Structure 1
Amino acid sequence: MSQPTPDKPIQNSPYVVRLPIIISLTLAAGMLLGATFFSGGKKLTDVAKGYAKFREVLMLVENNYVDSVNTDELVDYSIAKMLEKLDPHTSYFNAEEATTARSQLESGFDGIGVEFNIYNDTVYVVSPLSGGPSESIGILSGDRILKVDGENLSGPGVTNAKVFKLLRGKRGSEVKLHIGRGSMKDGLDFTVVRDRIPTYSVDAAYMVDQEIGYIKVSRFSETTYDEFKTALSSLKSAGLKKLILDLRGNPGGYMERATSIADELISGNKLLVYTDGKDSRFDRKTNAKFDGMFEEGPIVVLADEGSASASEILAGALQDHDRALVVGRRTFGKGLVQMPIRLSDGSELRLTISRYYTPSGRSIQKHYDLGKGEVYNEDLTNRFNSGEYFSADSIKFDSTLKYKTDGGRLVYGGGGIMPDVFVPRDTSMNSKFLFELYAKNIIREYALRYVNDHKKVLEKQNFNEYLTKFNVSDAMVNELVQDAKKAGIKYNEKELNRSKPLILAQTKGLIGRYQWGRQRKDGLNNEIFQVLNPMDNVYQEAIKQFGKATDLEKGDFSSLNMTKEK
């Protein structure tokens, strides 16, 4: 998962950086790594003894072990296993892994387009990257990647380097994935066509009507703030009065990009986020500091279980200052701060040094037990099984973690940002037939072929004309079904009818994207969002909630039906 980190990794001398890592291998399980490194070291003698012991064992293995060994690999393995005893987000990347991981936020790359985490030797999808091939075929947050081209990707020996090696490759090449999803007994098979993963992070920015604007932010990368300012300026020029800010599925990224966006929306010098750690040197407060472009006007923020880290910082700041109405579902709950420390050989340690807190004092981080990453990663599945995705009554508040917004509304800590207006996950149009169409790229390939075959007709109209007048015909659906049969997908009329509205919308959206979206140079995918959003129940609810969002901005809570502590 992308972590909210400072823009530039801290550089230290090779000896100073390597020493505390190796030393810490000998510390008791659960002790925070780097305690002596960062805070002066009350037990320097004990640490030195531990380092001496580790060095002694390593030398004995190198000089006397019966077979030849690679000590660098042993050290890497030792570090990785040691970090498993800490929190779920402290991590170590060897030189190759570090380079690849940084590229996810700093530059483009060819691959399948997923943010992932490895827990208990299993690769979990945190979020498919918006606009990437995995998203297009239906890979979901929480999916487990079990096999890649028939090769197992679970069990001992799974590393970031192995995942990158298997998933990345030349654009246009195919990779076959075997996916585990939820409690399904049988896995799902997907064929993903690798592509250039877009470096853009603002996926859509368009006017819904004469007053309402919509901006979708998929992650917080180096260019996100600049992209956001460009999008917001464009919408203001088009008459923006009300804003929908969609952070669903956004796994985070650079914290500074999220707080800069918050500063564009929050007036004065209000607190945006603060951090608190074991060492006071890592305590930090970030306040608004300049006049933003949209400090007045109602805002609705869309969030869900895929919104993590920097997304939660932004949503939390807006909610705590009663600046925006949060609509959707409880966010992921990732509120630990990682400091990237680049080591002498190019490897990188991302060490948890503090926690994030929203302006009201809420901790974003959900509960975890040291050394139990596999339990931590099962949280999303447990939420699904408990019914939290479908009923607000299934969400349990910790009554000991009550906080107040600026206006006195009650909000709760304990992990993630709770929405002001809950909207259940809509599974009414899901079916196995639909998943198989996604898995084998049937809709995507049909839409691309349709564009190529009807280019001259499509070129005679602009996208707005297409959006209002074009309908996917029954003949087109029949052609798509025939494509599915040729690909080995068993036809199921009942499932087709259930999923048909979504199939029609996906087809229309992709045709629009391939015909008009490829002509854009701003990285936006407005065409597909403009087709699909009207069918999205969270988006639909957001449109309905602008009355409450307007009241919220004015400080009038009487019509909001929200808890306010007196």
Structure 2
Amino acid sequence: MEDQKPKNTLFQMRLPIFLALAVICGIFIGAAMSKKGSEQNIAGNYLRFAEILNYIQQDYVDTVDVDKLVDYSITQMLEKLDPHTAYIPARDRQIADAQLESNFEGIGIEFNIIKDTIYVVSPISGGPSEKAGLMAGDKIVKVDTIQMAGNGVTSADVFKRLRGPKGTKVLLTVKRKGSAKLLTYTIIRDKIPTYSIDAAYMIDKTTGYIKISRFGDKTYDEFLEALNDLKKQGMQRLMIDLKDNGGGYLDRATNIADQLISGNKMIVYTDGKGTKYDQEFRARIAGAFETGPVVVLINEGSASASEILSGALQDNDRALIVGRRSFGKGLVQMPVTLNDGSQLRITISRYYTPSGRSIQKPYDKEDASAYDSDLLARYQHGEFFHADSIRFNDSLKYETSKGRTVYGGGGIMPDVFVGRDTSEYTKYLMELFNENVIREYTLNYYQENKAILSKMTYEEYFKSFVVTDAMLKDVIALATKNGVTYNDVQYKRSKSFIQNNVKAYIARSAWGNKGFYQIYNQKDEIYNKGLSSFKEAAKISE
């Protein structure tokens, strides 16, 4: 048999040139990046990688998508660095950048892809998915008739299937934890107004409340508008709700801090390799609310920019922090756009609060599993419920500007700890949420009573609307229809919480997020503890 001599491809013909350039560039890069060139043979590694790619392209038995191989190898390499350095292929850039845009058209969810499975991180407040009943943690297994789980799904695939013109429909099949059957939702796409201030209102005659869901491109403008509006209504003390705020743009967080912190005080600083990426962010303007008590609410879902804002206010004794220990994301990524349109988001430094605390929680470069399961570990050893379950190393003890003790080691530990309230949380209540019973009921109720509700002001609804026992019987009946077995003892424990949620979700349909949070917060343990902590907040800011 004659030897098969394959024809050279354009890639193969250009390869010697690429290799020569790689060697030359590698030499210069190696010299620039390493104090001892012999210790980092970048040129040699460059050549070895290109050589392997060439053999795969030329001789491997099956047809191979070399671009996908390169993407995979880069991703695997970066996993050995830290949990937040990432590579985003060009095809995924639009989706990644859209997370913090002020609006787009689609179904309105934030998502992650983990092991070929689409997880709903959060339905965007006020968007079609939230109204339909999608919940954080849901796994999207099918979009229309297209299987979306276990088949190498990418962010580009999700973008293609879920986004689309306003008014078009999409059918989602969802797997929800605790539910044996798959759930289906028909969602009508809409313009997604990604406001980052979910609600701003006066709790009482002197207390203002602002909930920030993320730090997007318009967050600072929205915050300043809300702050000034509340001041006009007589606000003398302020509650900022950062619970479950996963972060966003650094400068939006520091600008908000600057509205609350006086003088030239430190807000946050970064420390990287050498001094190239070292920065200090200080207060620089006369802020709109530099005096008056401030309470900030955080929990385990508060991360990154949320931790920068709460850490700055805590270390400068400008606010009392109430809730549970925050997530612990304190690594700074610099976006580097590559020649093909892809992007490297490389960690260049760490964030530190004014007292010198590192926000970043520990991680093992060789094993990401412990980092990924950190919140589950906190839950299992009781940190979500009891402050004494948290152990701090004395070597990580720091002091605020007035000498109060605070701790580093990952995340922001609140001044006032609030454990999860388990008295009303029953298995029956969880099944109502898992089967989407309360949201389904309230959407139906709103549609059936829209004419009556439209004649009411929100103030009338807030003060006088009562979720009756007859309404609750209908909720129970719907739950039974959806496969939730009634449990009288657990129902009675959860009754007050169910009533509050029913009233809040009806209000969301009629008056949006402002109407929702003003009612929903009445049963939120962190909110209520924060509201009773303003005297202490006033003392630390004197």
TM-score, normalising length from structure 1?
0.83
The range that moved more, 381-390 or 102-111, is 102-111
Residue 236 of structure 1 and its aligned partner are, at CA, apart by: 0.3
Aligned partner of 2:173 among 161, 171, 176:
176
Aligned partner of 2:521 among 533, 538, 561:
533
Going from structure 1 to structure 2, the CA distance change for 1:370 and 1:164 (only over 3 Å counts) comes to farther
Deviation string, structure 1 residues 53-106 (Cα, Å, up to 9, x no partner) = 111111111112222211111111111111111101111111222211111101
* Maintained 8 Å contact 1:220/1:257: yes
In the alignment, the residues of structure 1 paired with residue 467 and residue 317 of structure 2 have an alpha-carbon distance, to the nearest angstrom, of: 42
Going from structure 1 to structure 2, the CA distance change for 1:129 and 1:545 (only over 3 Å counts) comes to same
In the alignment, the residues of structure 2 paired with residue 36 and residue 327 of structure 1 have an alpha-carbon distance, to the nearest angstrom, of: 48
1:276 aligns with 2:271: yes
In the alignment, the residues of structure 2 paired with residue 205 and residue 38 of structure 1 have an alpha-carbon distance, to the nearest angstrom, of: 51
Q: Match for residue 454 of structure 1? A: 449
Aligned partner of 2:218 among 220, 223, 229:
223
Deviation string, structure 1 residues 10-54 (Cα, Å, up to 9, x no partner) = xxxxxxxx99xx99xx9xxxxxxx995984675387101110111
In the alignment, the residues of structure 2 paired with residue 188 and residue 355 of structure 1 have an alpha-carbon distance, to the nearest angstrom, of: 44
* Maintained 8 Å contact 2:176/2:434: no
In the alignment, the residues of structure 1 paired with residue 32 and residue 310 of structure 2 have an alpha-carbon distance, to the nearest angstrom, of: 31
Deviation string, structure 1 residues 117-142 (Cα, Å, up to 9, x no partner) = 64x767666555444566664734xx
Aligned partner of 1:505 among 500, 504, 517:
500
In the alignment, the residues of structure 1 paired with residue 69 and residue 490 of structure 2 have an alpha-carbon distance, to the nearest angstrom, of: 52
Q: Within 5 A, what are the aligned runs for 1:126-141?
A: 127=122, 129-132=124-127, 137=133, 139-140=135-136
- 1:295 is paired with a residue of what secondary structure? coil
Residue 349 of structure 1 and its aligned partner are, at CA, apart by: 1.3
> Which consecutive unaligned segments of at least 5 residues does structure 2 have?
1-17
Higher relative contact order (CA 8 A, sep 6+): 1
Going from structure 1 to structure 2, the CA distance change for 1:319 and 1:52 (only over 3 Å counts) comes to same
Aligned partner of 2:237 among 235, 242, 264:
242
- The root-mean-square deviation of aligned C-alpha atoms, in Å, is 2.9
Q: Match for residue 64 of structure 1? A: 59
In the alignment, the residues of structure 1 paired with residue 88 and residue 505 of structure 2 have an alpha-carbon distance, to the nearest angstrom, of: 37
Counterpart of 1:552 in structure 2: which amino acid?
I
* Maintained 8 Å contact 2:212/2:241: yes
Counterpart of 2:235 in structure 1: which amino acid?
L
* Maintained 8 Å contact 1:320/1:406: yes
Deviation string, structure 1 residues 523-561 (Cα, Å, up to 9, x no partner) = xx110111111111111111110110010111xxxxxxx
Going from structure 1 to structure 2, the CA distance change for 1:385 and 1:443 (only over 3 Å counts) comes to same
* Maintained 8 Å contact 2:138/2:174: no
* Maintained 8 Å contact 1:429/1:498: yes
Q: Match for residue 468 of structure 2? A: 473
Aligned partner of 2:104 among 84, 94, 108:
108
Counterpart of 2:518 in structure 1: which amino acid?
Q
* Maintained 8 Å contact 1:127/1:306: no
Going from structure 1 to structure 2, the CA distance change for 1:188 and 1:345 (only over 3 Å counts) comes to farther
Q: Within 5 A, what are the aligned runs for 1:161-310?
A: 161=156, 164=159, 172-180=169-177, 190-192=183-185, 194=187, 196=190, 197-310=192-305
Deviation string, structure 1 residues 424-466 (Cα, Å, up to 9, x no partner) = 0123323343334334433223223322322332232210011
- 1:400 is paired with a residue of what secondary structure? helix
Q: Match for residue 14 of structure 2? A: none
Q: Within 5 A, what are the aligned runs for 1:413-452?
A: 413-452=408-447
Counterpart of 2:324 in structure 1: which amino acid?
R
- 2:76 is paired with a residue of what secondary structure? helix
Deviation string, structure 1 residues 372-393 (Cα, Å, up to 9, x no partner) = 2222110000000000000000
* Maintained 8 Å contact 1:112/1:192: no
Residue 145 of structure 1 and its aligned partner are, at CA, apart by: 3.6
Residue 110 of structure 1 and its aligned partner are, at CA, apart by: 1.9
Going from structure 1 to structure 2, the CA distance change for 1:158 and 1:84 (only over 3 Å counts) comes to farther
Counterpart of 1:98 in structure 2: which amino acid?
R
Residue 343 of structure 1 and its aligned partner are, at CA, apart by: 1.9
Going from structure 1 to structure 2, the CA distance change for 1:172 and 1:444 (only over 3 Å counts) comes to farther
Going from structure 1 to structure 2, the CA distance change for 1:158 and 1:365 (only over 3 Å counts) comes to farther
1:86 aligns with 2:86: no
- 1:101 is paired with a residue of what secondary structure? helix
In the alignment, the residues of structure 2 paired with residue 396 and residue 135 of structure 1 have an alpha-carbon distance, to the nearest angstrom, of: 37
In the alignment, the residues of structure 1 paired with residue 159 and residue 253 of structure 2 have an alpha-carbon distance, to the nearest angstrom, of: 27
* Maintained 8 Å contact 1:133/1:193: no
Deviation string, structure 1 residues 293-337 (Cα, Å, up to 9, x no partner) = 100000000000000000000000000000000000000000001
Residue 157 of structure 1 and its aligned partner are, at CA, apart by: 4.2
* Maintained 8 Å contact 2:174/2:183: yes
* Maintained 8 Å contact 2:201/2:210: yes
Deviation string, structure 1 residues 198-248 (Cα, Å, up to 9, x no partner) = 310000100000000100000000000000011101100000001000000
- 2:421 is paired with a residue of what secondary structure? coil
Counterpart of 1:176 in structure 2: which amino acid?
T
Counterpart of 2:284 in structure 1: which amino acid?
K
Residue 340 of structure 1 and its aligned partner are, at CA, apart by: 1.2
Counterpart of 1:108 in structure 2: which amino acid?
F
Aligned partner of 1:331 among 323, 326, 332:
326
Whose Rg is larger?
2
Aligned partner of 1:340 among 321, 330, 335:
335
* Maintained 8 Å contact 1:332/1:415: yes
TM-score, normalising length from structure 2?
0.87
Q: Match for residue 314 of structure 1? A: 309
Q: Match for residue 549 of structure 1? A: 537
Residue 277 of structure 1 and its aligned partner are, at CA, apart by: 0.7
- 1:282 is paired with a residue of what secondary structure? coil
Counterpart of 2:107 in structure 1: which amino acid?
G
Q: Match for residue 484 of structure 1? A: 479
Counterpart of 1:488 in structure 2: which amino acid?
G
Q: Match for residue 511 of structure 2? A: 516
The range that moved more, 311-320 or 78-87, is 78-87
Q: Match for residue 43 of structure 1? A: 37
1:400 aligns with 2:388: no
- 1:364 is paired with a residue of what secondary structure? coil
* Maintained 8 Å contact 1:97/1:160: yes
